[in-house]
Amino acid sequence: MAAEKGEKTQAALSLGLIYLHGNDRDIDNEKAKYWLTIAAENGEPRATYWLGVMHQYGFGYPKDINRARECYQKALNAGVKESQEKLDELK
């Protein structure tokens, strides 16, 4: 409810991850993509990282390594250190 009422960073990130991982719910990649995109557009770099994961593995998107690399690099530039490991995987 918080994400729907305009708290579009942390709440949207959390909701996106719940849908991505299926915590006590069915996994829903379309809803995960929707909420993570909102969080990323509102400056949440961890959401950008998770969008990279979705692109890398084809969750909710066609598999796209170049787009995954772009997301990881953007997240890394914003301080998400785990992104470096993902970029190394793509080499």
User: What's the confidence (pLDDT) of residue 91?
Assistant: 87
User: What's the confidence (pLDDT) of residue 56?
Assistant: 97
User: What's the confidence (pLDDT) of residue 9?
Assistant: 84
Sequence ranges of the domains in the chain: 10-89
Q: Which residues lie closer than 8 Å to 29 by C-beta, 6 or more apart?
A: 19, 20, 54, 59, 60
The neighbour count for residue 78, using CB atoms within 10 Å, is: 14
- For the segment(s) 10-89, the CATH number from 1.10.1200.10, 1.25.40.10, 1.20.120.350, 3.40.50.261 is 1.25.40.10
Query: pLDDT of the chain along its 91 residues, tens only?
Result: 554 555 668 888 998 999 999 866 688 999 999 999 999 999 999 999 999 999 999 999 999 999 999 999 999 999 999 999 999 999 8
User: What's the confidence (pLDDT) of residue 7?
Assistant: 63
